[in-house]
C-alpha cells in the first residue's frame, strides 16, 4: 500500500514540472514566484492528501515539490508552498499534529538555507545538490518518528525500516526526474534565446553592412568637396567647414563600426607585444581620463607576445577602456591588468563607477542598447564580435554603485 501511494505521489510531483514544460513558454506567469509557489504548493498538498498514514505519520513526497520550488523558483515560492502544506496538514489533523508542524518547519528550513548556495550552481551540479537537499526531510521525518515514539511511550516499530528505505529511494527518484526535466527546459530556453539572438544579429549585421556601403560613397564625395572648399574660405565659413569635416569623420567611424560588426575580419595577422599595444592605448586615452578626473593605471606582465590582428585588438580594447572611463565619476579609478596564463593571455579592466543592474548586464552587447544617455551600444557589440572572431572570450561582471569588471581572455596563437 505504501509503494502504491508513493508512486502516485511521484506522478503528482512531476505534474507541475510537466505543465511548465508544455505551457511554460506560452504562460505569462511561468516566471512568477507566486504562481509557481501556488502550483508546487498544490502538488505538495495533493501528495499529503494521497499519503500513506502509519504510526500517526503521513508518508508522502510532499517535500519534493517544496525543495524544487525553493531551489528553482525562489524562496518566495518555497514559502508559499510551505504555508499550503501547513494548511493541508491542519485540515487532516491527527494526534501527532504538533510533531507534524515541527517536522514540516524543519524540512522547509533545509532547502531554504541551502538555496543560497544551490542557486549559483547549474546543470548536473545543481541536480546533485538538489537531490542531496531533498534527503534532508527524510532525516527530519526519521528523527520525528523516533521522537514521537519516545514521547508517546510506544515502542519503535522496526518494521518501518523497509518503508523508510523505499521512501528514501522514491524521494531521490522523484527529485531526479523533476530536476532533470527542469534543467532540460532551461537548456532548451537558453538555446532558443541564443538562436534567436544569432538570427537577429545576422539580420542586423547584413542590414548594417548594406546601409554602410551605400552611405560611405556619398560621404566620401561630400568630404572631398569640403576639403577642396576649406582653404578658400575665411572666418566663420572656414570654422563651419572644419566642424562639418569633423562630423563627417565621426560618421565614417560609425560606418566602419557597422561594417566591423557585420563581419569582423582579421586581415593583418602578426606577432606583437601585448604590453606595447596597451601602452599605446593608455597614451591615447590618458587625456580623456584626465579631462574626466579619472585615474587610469596599468599593470602588465612583460614579454607577452600574441599572434593576431593588432588593429582590431586595439579597437576592441579602446572601446572597453573608454566605456570604463566614461562610466567612472570624478576621482574614480580605472585599472587595466594584463596577465599571461598557460597558452593564453587575460586582460581585466576594472572601474569603480556607477555599475549596472542585472537587467542591464543581461543586455550588454545587444545592438542599439546602451547604458549611456547618448549611445547605440555599437562599440560594445563590435568589441564582442572582434574578441569572438579571435577565438577569445569576454565576460562582464558588475554591481550597481560598486563598478564593473570586464575580463577578456585570448589565445596566444590565433588559428
CATH number, domain at 347? 3.30.565.10
- Cα gap 250→379, rounded to integer Å: 13
Q: Check whether 218 has a pLDDT greater than 70.
A: yes
The answer on 273 and 189 residing in a single domain is: no
Q: Check whether 112 has a pLDDT greater than 80.
A: yes
Which one, of 107, 155, 152, lies nearest residue 134 by Cα? 107
**Would you say residue 213 lies in a domain?**
no
The answer on 181 and 288 residing in a single domain is: no
**Would you say residue 211 lies in a domain?**
no
The answer on 183 and 312 residing in a single domain is: no
CB atoms within 10 A of CB 163: 17
Q: Check whether 300 has a pLDDT greater than 70.
A: yes
Average pLDDT over the chain reads 80
For β-strands 57-59 and 269-273, DSSP reports them as unpaired
Mean pLDDT of all residues in 294-302: 84
**Would you say residue 247 lies in a domain?**
no
- Cα gap 284→266, rounded to integer Å: 22
Q: Which range of residues forms the domain containing residue 54?
A: 2-195
Mean pLDDT of all residues in 159-179: 80
Q: Check whether 407 has a pLDDT greater than 90.
A: yes
Q: Is the pTM of the predicted complex or chain greater than 0.85?
A: no
Q: What is the pLDDT of residue 137?
A: 75
CATH number, domain at 143? 1.10.1760
Mean pLDDT of all residues in 78-107: 85
Q: Check whether 57 has a pLDDT greater than 70.
A: no
**Would you say residue 227 lies in a domain?**
no
| Cβ pair 247, 368 in contact under 8 A | no
Q: Which of 166, 195, 224 is the last residue of a domain?
A: 195
**Would you say residue 245 lies in a domain?**
no
Mean pLDDT of all residues in 325-351: 88
Q: What is the pLDDT of residue 304?
A: 83
**Would you say residue 64 lies in a domain?**
yes
Confidence bin at 42 (pLDDT 50/70/90) = very high
Q: Which of 139, 173, 195 is the last residue of a domain?
A: 195
Tens digits of per-residue pLDDT, 124-164?
Answer: 888 888 888 888 877 777 776 666 666 666 665 666 677 77
DSSP track, 302-333: SS-EEEEEHHHHHHHHHHHHHHHHHTSPTT-E
Helix, strand, coil % in the chain, rounded to nearest 5: 65, 15, 20
Confidence bin at 80 (pLDDT 50/70/90) = very high
Helix (H, G, I), strand (E, B) or coil at 31: coil
Q: Which residue has the higher pLDDT, 253 or 290?
A: 290
H or E element, residue 213: helix 160-229
First to last CA, the chain: 64
Q: Which residue has the higher pLDDT, 6 or 328?
A: 328
The answer on 164 and 308 residing in a single domain is: no
For cell 591615447, the residue is 284
The answer on 293 and 190 residing in a single domain is: no
Q: Please count the structural domains in the chain.
A: 2
The answer on 185 and 320 residing in a single domain is: no
- Cα gap 220→142, rounded to integer Å: 81
| Cβ pair 265, 305 in contact under 8 A | no
Q: What is the pLDDT of residue 136?
A: 82
- Cα gap 203→206, rounded to integer Å: 5
Q: Check whether 388 has a pLDDT greater than 70.
A: yes
**Would you say residue 341 lies in a domain?**
yes
The answer on 41 and 187 residing in a single domain is: yes
Tens digits of per-residue pLDDT, 191-215?
Answer: 887 787 777 766 766 666 666 666 7
The answer on 311 and 396 residing in a single domain is: yes
| Cβ pair 67, 26 in contact under 8 A | no
The answer on 167 and 291 residing in a single domain is: no
Q: Which of 175, 195, 215 is the last residue of a domain?
A: 195
The answer on 50 and 144 residing in a single domain is: yes
Q: What is the pLDDT of residue 415?
A: 46
CB atoms within 10 A of CB 329: 12
| Cβ pair 343, 406 in contact under 8 A | no
H or E element, residue 25: none
**Would you say residue 225 lies in a domain?**
no
Q: Check whether 350 has a pLDDT greater than 90.
A: yes
Tens digits of per-residue pLDDT, 237-273?
Answer: 777 887 788 778 777 776 766 666 655 666 678 888 8
Length of the chain: 415
Confidence bin at 349 (pLDDT 50/70/90) = very high
Task: For residue 403, report the phi and psi dihedrals to the nearest 5 degrees.
Answer: 140, -175
Cell numbers placing 277? 599595444
The answer on 70 and 163 residing in a single domain is: yes
Amino acid at each position: 500500500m505504501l509503494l502504491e501511494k508513493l508512486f502516485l505521489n511521484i506522478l503528482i510531483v512531476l505534474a507541475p514540472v510537466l505543465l511548465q514544460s508544455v505551457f511554460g513558454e506560452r504562460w505569462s506567469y511561468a516566471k512568477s514566484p507566486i504562481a509557481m509557489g501556488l502550483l508546487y504548493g498544490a502538488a505538495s498538498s495533493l501528495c499529503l492528501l494521497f499519503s500513506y498514514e502509519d504510526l500517526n505519520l503521513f508518508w508522502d513526497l510532499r517535500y519534493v515539490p517544496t525543495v524544487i520550488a525553493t531551489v528553482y523558483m525562489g524562496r518566495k515560492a518555497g514559502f508559499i508552498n510551505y504555508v499550503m502544506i501547513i494548511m493541508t496538514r491542519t485540515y487532516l489533523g491527527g494526534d501527532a499534529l504538533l510533531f507534524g508542524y515541527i517536522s514540516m518547519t524543519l524540512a522547509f528550513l533545509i532547502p531554504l538555507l541551502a538555496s543560497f548556495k544551490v542557486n549559483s550552481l547549474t546543470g548536473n551540479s545543481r541536480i546533485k545538490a538538489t537531490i542531496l537537499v531533498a534527503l534532508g526531510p527524510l532525516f527530519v521525518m526519521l528523527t520525528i518518528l523516533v521522537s514521537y515514539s519516545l514521547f508517546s511511550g510506544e515502542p519503535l516499530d522496526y518494521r518501518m525500516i523497509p518503508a523508510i528505505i523505499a521512501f528514501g529511494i522514491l524521494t531521490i527518484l522523484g527529485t531526479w526526474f523533476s530536476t532533470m526535466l527542469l534543467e532540460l527546459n532551461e537548456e532548451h530556453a537558453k538555446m532558443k534565446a541564443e538562436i534567436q539572438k544569432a538570427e537577429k544579429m545576422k539580420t542586423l549585421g547584413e542590414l548594417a553592412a548594406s546601409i554602410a556601403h551605400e552611405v560611405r560613397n556619398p560621404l566620401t564625395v561630400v568630404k572631398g568637396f569640403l576639403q577642396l572648399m576649406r582653404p578658400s574660405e575665411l572666418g566663420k565659413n572656414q570654422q563651419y567647414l572644419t566642424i562639418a569635416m569633423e562630423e563627417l569623420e565621426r560618421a565614417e567611424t560609425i560606418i566602419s563600426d557597422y561594417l566591423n560588426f557585420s563581419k569582423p575580419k582579421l586581415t593583418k595577422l602578426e606577432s606583437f607585444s601585448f604590453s606595447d599595444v596597451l601602452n599605446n592605448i593608455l597614451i591615447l586615452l590618458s587625456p580623456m581620463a584626465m579631462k574626466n578626473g579619472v585615474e587610469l593605471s596599468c599593470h602588465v606582465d612583460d614579454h607577452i607576445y600574441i599572434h593576431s590582428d593588432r588593429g582590431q585588438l586595439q579597437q576592441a580594447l579602446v572601446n572597453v577602456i573608454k566605456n570604463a572611463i566614461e562610466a567612472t565619476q570624478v576621482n574614480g579609478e580605472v585599472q587595466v591588468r594584463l596577465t599571461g596564463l598557460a597558452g593564453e593571455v587575460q586582460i581585466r579592466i576594472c572601474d569603480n563607477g556607477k555599475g549596472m543592474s542585472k537587467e542591464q548586464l543581461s543586455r550588454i552587447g545587444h545592438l542599439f542598447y546602451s547604458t549611456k544617455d547618448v549611445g547605440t551600444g555599437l562599440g560594445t557589440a563590435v568589441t564582442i564580435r572582434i574578441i569572438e572572431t579571435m577565438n577569445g572570450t569576454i565576460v562582464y561582471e558588475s554591481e550597481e554603485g560598486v563598478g564593473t569588471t570586464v575580463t577578456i581572455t585570448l589565445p596566444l596563437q590565433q588559428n
